[in-house]
Amino acid sequence: MTDIKCDLLVIGAGSGGLSVAAGASQMGANVVLLEGHKMGGDCLNYGCVPSKALLASAKAAYAQNNTAALGVADQVPQVSYAAAMDHVQGVITSIEPMDSQDRFERFGVRVIREFGHFISPTQIQAGEQKITARRVVIATGSSPLVPPIPGLADVPYETNETLFDQRTKPDHLLIIGGGPIGMEMAQAHVRLGCKVTVIEAARALGKDDPELAKIVLDSLRDEGVEIAEGALVSKVRGTAGAIEVETKDGSIFKGSHLLMAVGRKANTDRLNLEAAGIATHRTGIQVDDELRTSNKRVYAIGDVAGGMQFTHVAGYQAGVIIRSVLFGLTSRVKTDHIPWTTYTDPELAQVGMTERHARDVYGAKLEVIRFDYRHNDRALAERKTKGFIKVMVAKGRPVGASIVGHQAGELISTWSLALANGLKMSQIAAMVAPYPTIGEINKRVAGAYFSPRLFDSQVVKRAVRFVQRWIP
């Protein structure tokens, strides 16, 4: 057994763990990083990167057969599912060096390729190494949640951790789960030539504003995706190529392949948290607003902390705890400025409060301002007019923004900036956006907030008439 002492031990080499390790080491801390599986974690290998790469292939296929409105004849795409998956792997391979062990060792991080578990409140064992650390950051992420559905253990199924290894196109993909992962993969596969059925126990895209989600769901249905909502799965049966999913109401859905996309679970099983006195709850490790666990020397960030499960959240939290871990400064997380995007076509993006939440909080004091894509010249030029933005405003400041449409994930960043810095709508309206861009939508919705105040105000009109009468 080798004894190692360090200032900071990071468990998990996903987005959050890598950010902490690199930052701390480059600022002079003695850092050890543990990773028992793949460097880069879920996002690089099984999540954000491969899913967006597959969506890019699907978008290219869809575009070939949907260009007549632009004066270019539609062409039936010749899709190679295996080649699309090779593209996915190629993207992963091109990004891997940024997350590699070699790169982080050049930063001065000691990387140990082992899983670790606590043996005391301050000590972790990883293989033949016993590590004593002044501070520990748990960044072990999450894994696909596979519920105990009767019959599922006897039926072949995919999760996001296995899907991108496939090279044979599914004839008919059944997806259990209508959240962002399920809907993104549904659209990707229907555009690549598969039949797709999504089976959702409640409401598809249920965490988003239902008015915006409907536009996405209608678009997917128009492309051929069957979406069954309020369909609670009761049992699964069949063999490879012939799978049946039965729901509580007796409906039966038949397909060739099955993808489980019902959610995520925090990766805590290997950690032996009890030995460190670290409390957990239903969704992960219990942390306070400084991301400290019940063991004050240990922090948890990212999916394992049981909050918003997005790669950019883990990166943000990494920046927050660096202040505490390295400098002993108080640094607290907040979530009202954290955006999220579902990368369907059209995209669906949210930051801050939804309209329903904002109405509950602000009541009659809330103003909801809207602007449609069909009034944006660039959207008209590119035939991308489906969608709209709505911004929830209270006391002259945005408290939330919801966008559905082309490049919604790009547009939402402006509103994250506004919420993070307490900006007023007047400051958004003062922005100058180049013409013609989709980005003008953000400025135009801010303008829509002020239009009635300027053009429908009798006070303003009287002031203008006075000035025009008396000022030479």
Per-residue tokens: 466? 């006075």
pLDDT at residue number 131: 97
**DSSP secondary structure string for all residues of 355-401:** HHHHHHHHGGG-EEEEEEGGG-HHHHHTT----EEEEEEETTEEEEE
Q: Is 308 annotated as a binding residue?
A: no
Q: Is 180 annotated as a binding residue?
A: yes
Q: How many helices (H) and strands (E) does the chain have?
A: 14, 23
> What is the three-class DSSP state of 238?
strand
Q: Residue 389 is which amino acid?
A: I
Give, in words, the CATH class of 2-39+100-143+265-327: alpha beta
Q: Is 197 annotated as a binding residue?
A: no
Q: Is 169 annotated as a binding residue?
A: no
Q: Is 183 annotated as a binding residue?
A: yes
> Is there a shared CATH topology between the 2-39+100-143+265-327 domain and the 339-455 domain?
no
Distance CA 333, CA 320 (A): 7
Q: Is 151 annotated as a binding residue?
A: no
Phi-psi region of 442 (alpha: psi -120 to 50; beta: other; left: phi over 0): alpha
In order of 34, 50, 178, 381, 404, the CA distances from 263 in angstroms are: 25, 17, 10, 38, 23
Q: Is 52 annotated as a binding residue?
A: yes
> Which segments of the chain have a pLDDT < 70?
454-457, 460
Per-residue tokens: 136? 């520990």
Q: Is 142 annotated as a binding residue?
A: yes
Does domain 339-455 fall under CATH 3.40.50.11540? My reply is no
Does domain 152-263 fall under CATH 3.50.50.60? My reply is yes
Contact 439, 432 (CB under 8 A): no
Structural domain boundaries in the chain: 2-39+100-143+265-327, 152-263, 339-455
At which residue do the structure tokens 């409105």 appear? 69
User: Up-side HSE of residue 189: CA atoms within 13 Å toward CB?
Assistant: 28
Q: Is 405 annotated as a binding residue?
A: no
- The closest alpha carbon to 151, from 232, 229, 243, 241, belongs to 243
Q: Is 230 annotated as a binding residue?
A: no
pLDDT at residue number 455: 63
Per-residue tokens: 389? 């933005």
pTM value? 0.94
Beta strand pairing status for 233-239 and 242-247?
antiparallel
Contact 402, 209 (CB under 8 A): yes
- The closest alpha carbon to 185, from 324, 352, 29, 50, belongs to 50
At which residue do the structure tokens 């002993």 appear? 328
Per-residue tokens: 360? 């509950």
Q: Is 263 annotated as a binding residue?
A: yes
Task: Give me the sign of the Cα torsion angle 12, 16, 22, 25.
Answer: negative
Distance CA 239, CA 237 (A): 7
Q: Is 77 annotated as a binding residue?
A: no
Contact 55, 47 (CB under 8 A): no
In order of 26, 53, 136, 307, the CA distances from 44 in angstroms are: 23, 11, 23, 20
Q: Is 223 annotated as a binding residue?
A: no
Q: Is 193 annotated as a binding residue?
A: no
